[in-house]
Amino acid sequence: MKKDNFIGSSGWLSRFKRREGLKWKCLTGDAGEADVTVAMKWIEHCLQPILAQYDENDIFNGDETGLFFRCFPGKSMVFRNDNCKNGKRAKDRITIMLCANMSGSEKIKPLVIGYSAKPRCFAHVRSLPVDYYFNKKAWMTASIYEKYIMQLDEKFQNENRQVVMFFDNCAAHNKEIQKQLKAITLHYFPPNLTSILQPMDLGIIRCLKAHYRNDIVLNLIAQVENKLPITKVSLLQCINNLHKIWEMKVGPDIIKNCFYKAGFRKNSFALNEDSVQIPVLRDGQKNLDYLDTLNTDFNENEGISNFENYVSVDLNLTISSFMTDEDIVAITEQQNNDTEIQETALIDESVHLVKQQEAQHALMTVLAYVEQSQDTPHKLFRCINELRCFMNC
The pLDDT tens digits of the residues spanning 134-165 come to: 998 899 999 999 999 999 999 999 999 999 99
Order of strands across the sheet with 59-68? 131-134, 111-114, 93-101, 59-68, 163-167, 184-188
Confidence check: pLDDT of 328 > 70 = no
Instruction: Give the mean pLDDT of the chain.
Output: 83
Percent of the chain with pLDDT over 70: 81
Listed in sequence order, the residues at least 6 apart from 312 whose beta carbon sits closer than 8 Å to its beta carbon are 206, 209
pLDDT tens-digit map of 78-133: 555 555 555 456 678 999 999 999 999 999 999 999 999 889 899 888 899 999 99
Q: What's the pLDDT score for residue 26? A: 39
Please tell me the distance from the alpha carbon of residue 61 to that of residue 56, in angstroms, as a whole number.
11
The strand pair at 93-101 and 59-68 is best described as: antiparallel
pLDDT band at 344 (very low <50, low <70, confident <90, very high): very low
From 46-60, 123-137, 175-189, the region with the lowest mean pLDDT: 123-137
Q: Cα 41–52–256 angle (5° rounding)?
A: 80
Confidence check: pLDDT of 200 > 50 = yes
Confidence check: pLDDT of 262 > 50 = yes
Percent of the chain with pLDDT over 90: 48
Confidence check: pLDDT of 266 > 70 = yes
Q: What's the pLDDT score for residue 77? A: 52
